[in-house]
Structure 1
Amino acid sequence: MTPPRRPGAGAAKRGALACGLFLLLLALLAAPSASAKLPDPPKLSARSAAVFETSTGEPLYGVGAGERRLIASTTKIMTALVAVDELPLDRVCTAASYRPAPAETQIGLRAGERMSVRDLLRALMLPSANDAAETLAVCAGGSRQRFIDAMNAKARRLGLRGTHFSTPVGLDSTSNYSTAADLARLGIALRRDRFLARTVDMPSATLSTGAYPRTVYNRNLLVQRVGWVNGVKTGHTNAAGYLLVASGTRRGLSFVAAVTGTPSEGARDADALALLRWAYATHRFATPVRSRQVFAEARLKHRPEDEIALIATRTVRELIRRDERLRVVVDAPAELQGPLPRNAVVGSLTVRRAGRVIATVPLVTRTAVPEVGLLERAADAIVRPGSLIAIVVVIGGATALLLRRHGARRRRSRADMEAA
């Protein structure tokens, strides 16, 4: 007789199957299509350009990115970095003696006027005031030349091999130069300072110290026009052309683009924005491994019904193109024998990108592995299928031997009786 079917069992299975298929469909839809063609890098008017991912410092694309060029007021990114290294924000500096040319940008600092470092940095980074740059240099370095020496020392520490400074202001000089790649790296360094990152993301600011309040405006118009653009610095001279180091953050990704030698402000902004948009369209972060994530389970030797979870010790997060995939290879034992402490290393994960190993992560036990007692091990040995067969064979063999010996004795006894 067929046993009665449990009510709802078929519906439950069908529901579970439908749920599984739905989750699989969601996963397929969420995953970027490997066959989708990614956009090509944009065509630029800039003489040189570069775009980098901020958290990793990884270069993504460049045009003449290593060529040395005049950099105008993007020089002031380094001026700001050295100033915050040397001066507290609340320090008050006395305006340096500086005679700007009529075309230079300034906030009109008067000789002897006193202004806080905080306000001087805002004047430096937003309207690009040359008198603020000169004042910060003398205040932080004691002299203009010592400050320039500090700028070059910091460039060496940051690994900017295509960069040299001869001014804190950025007026044209054959010994004041950088590359698009180095300018992008400078932009990344600036964004790591909380005050400077907030400053370059401001459309305007009011300087409350000094002889009178001043309101200054950010020359980087992308900060005002594009919500996710958050810095960094413009530059322009007739010889250098129009420059921009632009940064943006959205969807958990941050990029910095640098363009130099563009023919106009409009072309400068369009080039930088195109590079940032291209970076977002073509790159993503993948996290194939998360810390404490279970990647395998091992049976406990002599107690196979118990399983020990094996977990990763750290997270692997990799910037990749949207059409790339990462592969995780697990090397883990199927069985473990205790005692082992919690977090004992018993295996490993290998993360591969296009066949190349990019990370190796230890696999450890999530819990301690107990020692199985002697009696339990003996019982396990007895109940194992192979062990039972061996026991049956041994017992059968012993029984057959005894029967043969017993038969032989009976035959001998019968022969003796017949002989008698």
Structure 2
Amino acid sequence: MAPPVVAAVLLLAVVLAAALVPARAVAALPPEVDARNAIVVETSTGEVVYARRPDRPRPIASATKLMTALLVLERLPRDRSVPASGYRPAPVESQIGLRPGERLTVADLTRGLLLASANDAAVTLAEATSGSRPAFVRAMNARARKLGLTRTRFDNPIGLDAPDNRSTARDLVRLTLQLRTHPFFRRTVALEQATLRSGDRTRFIRNRNTLVAHRRVDGVKTGHTALAEYVLVASGRSASGVRLISVVLGEPDEASRNEDTLELLTWGFKQFRVLRPVRYGQSFPDARPPIRYRRGAELPLVAGGGVRRVVRRGDPAPQVEVSGVPERVEGPIRRGEQVGAAIVRVRQGSRVLAEVPLVAAAAVPRADFEQRAKDLVTRPYVPVTLLAAATASVLAVRALRRGRHRPGRRQGTARSA
């Protein structure tokens, strides 16, 4: 065969082989990203979907403000009015143009911190929380240690480049998970824009994280400095309910940062499926104990809660088992009341994922005297017992009567010789 023909045949074979590769196999390949460090975590299980040097510390720029926000949310009431600090940011710094002494609520300052990434808002909140910037930085590092952020160190509440201001992709996920326990934080970082009010002055700000305009992205925080390069901590939720947090550090530019984040989230969503092995109110064939004093009646037990589980595609579904169902039940039992130790257990192999109590699907009243008596006489052993008792009584009476009618023995008199 001539060399050109051989080359053509080989090329055709490669094309056909590529066409025959299943789409699932292609989807299983993670995207190539420009980030120096990156991670993607599924939040309900904590499973790491993707990681690229996730534990290497590096500058994190304004992602530092996530810890600033956490301390503020934990320590300051959001409706408190706070005077602006005398901090004067450089013209290149992110800011909302606070005038010294100007008063804003903690809520509006926190929106400025998280959306506009305002350095003047960060310093104002830090001083309002701890009295001074150094004291606030000490509180930041103490909170980091308490959260187990072992490779994180803070030097300032803003994120300005400093040797002691750095973290890792994995630590930033842990910090974000803690922040997401605060509803105010979740609502704020999902906003595309917000309005801040100070007296008669109104400020209109936009979220620097432009990805929140994407329907599957709902946070969290951007960052950029010369040393940190471009940073983005993001959160997203798929249509099926899979929740992911991604972190990219050391991106070369904003476009790469956004593109890599979207690709990681989109790819991560495809790796999981949401299962509901137990639903609220679900009944089970093995959970119908008989009701005492009500012959032939059973009490259906149903799940008192639901179980939602995110699993990897291709992994087996969790197993569901029922245990602790009593041999019989007796009223009074309220509808919705847990019956004994009855539970439904969800397992993945030998690991218990969840346990849900089994509760009464209907109320069972206390049995009255008639029901108790009827139950007693209809038991199979009762007639035999009664017959035996009656027979024994008759025999005893007859024996007693025979003993009374039997003639007495005459007593002889001794004679003397």
- Matched to 1:349, the amino acid is V
Cα separation, partners in 2 of 1:360 and 1:122, compared to 1, 3 Å: closer
* In 1: Cα distance, 2:115 partner to 2:72 partner: 16
- SS of equivalent to 2:270: helix
* In 1: Cα distance, 2:352 partner to 2:65 partner: 40
| Paired position in structure 1 for 2:58 | 69
- Specify which of 296, 300, 306 is matched with residue 305 of structure 1: 296
* In 2: Cα distance, 1:88 partner to 1:347 partner: 43
Tell me by how many angstroms 1:192 deviates.
Answer: 3.0
Tell me by how many angstroms 1:280 deviates.
Answer: 2.0
Residue 238, structure 1, aligned to residue 230, structure 2: no
Write out aligned runs for 1:121-140 (5 A): 121-140=110-129
Q: Which moved more, 1:99-108 or 1:124-133?
A: 99-108
8 A Cα contact 1:86 1:140, kept in partner = yes
Tell me by how many angstroms 1:119 deviates.
Answer: 2.9
8 A Cα contact 1:42 1:274, kept in partner = yes
8 A Cα contact 2:44 2:310, kept in partner = no
- Specify which of 84, 109, 119 is matched with residue 98 of structure 2: 109
8 A Cα contact 1:242 1:260, kept in partner = yes
| Paired position in structure 1 for 2:314 | 323
- SS of equivalent to 2:227: coil
Q: How high is the TM-score relative to the length of structure 2?
A: 0.73
- Matched to 1:311, the amino acid is V
| Paired position in structure 1 for 2:259 | 270
8 A Cα contact 2:325 2:343, kept in partner = no
8 A Cα contact 2:113 2:119, kept in partner = yes
* In 1: Cα distance, 2:184 partner to 2:345 partner: 39
- SS of equivalent to 1:305: coil
Summarize deviations over 1:170-216 as a string: whole Å, max 9, x none.
01122111111221222233333333333222222333317843332
Tell me by how many angstroms 1:168 deviates.
Answer: 0.3
| Paired position in structure 1 for 2:32 | 43
- Specify which of 36, 42, 64 is matched with residue 53 of structure 1: 42
- SS of equivalent to 1:273: helix
Tell me by how many angstroms 1:301 deviates.
Answer: 7.0
- SS of equivalent to 2:300: strand
- Specify which of 326, 335, 344 is matched with residue 349 of structure 1: 344
Task: Percent identity, please.
Answer: 44
* In 2: Cα distance, 1:349 partner to 1:164 partner: 44
- Matched to 2:202, the amino acid is P
8 A Cα contact 1:332 1:363, kept in partner = no
Summarize deviations over 1:298-336 as a string: whole Å, max 9, x none.
345796632221333443222222333111123466952
8 A Cα contact 2:141 2:154, kept in partner = yes
Tell me by how many angstroms 1:49 deviates.
Answer: 1.6
Q: Which moved more, 1:333-342 or 1:198-207?
A: 333-342
- SS of equivalent to 2:212: helix
| Paired position in structure 1 for 2:172 | 183
8 A Cα contact 2:326 2:342, kept in partner = no
| Paired position in structure 1 for 2:135 | 146
8 A Cα contact 1:93 1:115, kept in partner = yes
* In 2: Cα distance, 1:205 partner to 1:219 partner: 12
Summarize deviations over 1:41-94 as a string: whole Å, max 9, x none.
332221222223345655443222222221111001111221233333333333
* In 1: Cα distance, 2:170 partner to 2:164 partner: 18
* In 1: Cα distance, 2:260 partner to 2:266 partner: 10
Tell me by how many angstroms 1:274 deviates.
Answer: 1.8
* In 1: Cα distance, 2:275 partner to 2:320 partner: 12
8 A Cα contact 1:47 1:260, kept in partner = yes
8 A Cα contact 1:297 1:334, kept in partner = no
- SS of equivalent to 1:350: strand
| Paired position in structure 2 for 1:404 | none
| Paired position in structure 1 for 2:391 | none
* In 1: Cα distance, 2:220 partner to 2:265 partner: 13
Residue 285, structure 1, aligned to residue 274, structure 2: yes
* In 1: Cα distance, 2:101 partner to 2:341 partner: 69
Q: Which moved more, 1:242-251 or 1:185-194?
A: 185-194
* In 2: Cα distance, 1:210 partner to 1:329 partner: 61
CA RMSD of aligned residues (A): 3.2
* In 2: Cα distance, 1:138 partner to 1:116 partner: 14
- Matched to 1:290, the amino acid is R
Tell me by how many angstroms 1:127 deviates.
Answer: 2.3
Residue 381, structure 1, aligned to residue 380, structure 2: yes
Write out aligned runs for 1:359-370 (5 A): 359-366=354-361, 367-368=363-364
Summarize deviations over 1:80-135 as a string: whole Å, max 9, x none.
22123333333333332334344322233333443333332222222212122112
